[in-house]
Amino acid sequence: MQMFRPFEQDAAPVGWRVRVAMLTADLSQEREVMSRRIAGLGGSVEHFDEMFSAISAMMDDPTGYGLLVMDCDAFGGPEVGHRAVALLRGTGSTVPVILISHECSESVFPEDYAMPILLRSAVSLQAAFDHAMRGRLHWHAA
């Protein structure tokens, strides 16, 4: 599903030019699949293979990133993902976060922007991306 800004004449897809920090294992097979899916949705993917380097990059450029996607299984499970979200929120960042882990019992799409979206697999990545980018309609209106 693509969403468009109906209040501007030069409307563009919501995901257009979103800079995405992707935190995955360096040689993960899922990495390429997720990268292609996000790029197909309009995201510009930057890969990180270490949690603190990704958070540091997002702190150094607080308005540059529009989304963080983390493959939690590559780093020890969803607990590590929630710790990354806590560190990110501790810096004052409000960037949406998608955490992917096979250990999650169900996918969760919270209404609260501060809470991460939880996925059991990358199969639901498009729905999660759309859900995370729902606020971009308001960002462009400002």
The tens digit of pLDDT for each residue in 87-121 reads: 999 999 999 999 999 998 899 999 998 899 999 98
CATH number at residue 26: 3.40.50.2300
Q: What range does the domain containing 68 cover?
A: 18-141
User: Looking at the predicted structure, is the pLDDT value of residue 2 above 60?
Assistant: no
Contacts of 130 (CB under 8 A, 6+ apart): 1, 3, 14, 41
Does residue 4 belong to any structural domain of this protein?
no
Task: State how many domains the chain has.
Answer: 1
Does residue 48 belong to any structural domain of this protein?
yes
Does residue 3 belong to any structural domain of this protein?
no
Report the predicted TM-score, pTM, of the whole model to 2 decimal places.
Answer: 0.83
Long-range Cβ contacts of 4-9 (<8 Å, 24+ apart): 5/137, 5/140, 5/141, 7/141, 8/140
- The CA distance from 124 to 142, in Å, is 30
- The CA distance from 23 to 9, in Å, is 35
Return the percentage of the chain with pLDDT > 90, whole number.
50
Weakest-pLDDT range from 1-5, 36-40, 45-49: 1-5
Does residue 5 belong to any structural domain of this protein?
no
E strand or H helix that includes residue 141? helix 136-141
Does residue 11 belong to any structural domain of this protein?
no
What is the reported pLDDT for 142?
47
Does residue 12 belong to any structural domain of this protein?
no
Does residue 137 belong to any structural domain of this protein?
yes
What is the reported pLDDT for 130?
87
Q: Is residue 56 helix, strand or coil? A: helix
